[in-house]
Amino acid sequence: MEMKDFLVKVKENEAKKLKLIQIDIKNYGYLEFMKPKTEDLFKYLEIVANSNEIIDGKDIEEPKDGKTEEPKDKNKEKEAQKIDIKNLSHVIKASSELMYNCSSFLKSKELRNIYPGIHNFDIPTEIFGWDQVIDIASQIMEKFGGSKEISKTKKILDDEIKN
């Protein structure tokens, strides 16, 4: 293969890639999101994956008989809850930042003027709430080729939110 053939293939493949999606957001309708930059994608994935590892195995103990059970130690439960809240806040911030970076609407000056004291990356959370922000960011990742790990983490976080 020669360089010009390779470049033709690169251009063909780039033209086929999904670059823009619309997500139906409760109480708002469809909002467009652009494909995340690789840097934003990796940052989000790293935070979600790290949170998933901690949340997923946070408070299960393995007794000698091999059966898993919830911890009986109240201090361990409180510590697990602190870890959950801390990791949940990291996921919320990462989700909000991903949404902000992928949406021209959320970056608009008019919208930023409505929230003058709020950091730009926190605007999506202010508008949609943290539960929707996590859901929307998960959809962005799934539509743009994010891993199944995102879906798993979203389910774990949804279960944590319900409790």
pLDDT at 59: 40
Range of the domain at 152: 38-162
Residue 19 lies in a domain: no
Give 53-104 pLDDT, tens digit per residue.
Answer: 544 444 434 444 555 444 455 554 544 444 466 678 889 999 999 999 999 9
Residue 9 lies in a domain: no
pLDDT at 88: 83
* pTM exceeding 0.75: no
Average pLDDT over the chain, rounded to an integer: 79
Number of domains in the chain: 1
Residue 20 lies in a domain: no
Output b/e per residue, 87-122; b: 16+ Cβ within 10 A. bbeebbbbbbbbbbbbbeebeeeeeeeeeeeeeebb
Averaged pLDDT, 116-139: 94
Which residues are within 8 A (CB) of 148 and not within 5 positions of it... i.e. 6 or more apart? Answer: none
Residue 13 lies in a domain: no
Residue 24 lies in a domain: no
Averaged pLDDT, 34-42: 90
pLDDT at 79: 47
The band of 48, judged by pLDDT with boundaries at 50, 70 and 90, is confident
pLDDT at 62: 40
Residue 81 lies in a domain: yes
Residue 67 lies in a domain: yes
pLDDT at 161: 59
Residue 88 lies in a domain: yes
Inter-residue contact 48 to 56 (CB < 8 Å): no
Top pLDDT among 38 and 114 is at 114
- % of the chain with per-residue pLDDT over 90: 45
β-partners of residue 29 are 25
Tokens of 26: 């409760």
pLDDT at 71: 47
pLDDT at 41: 87
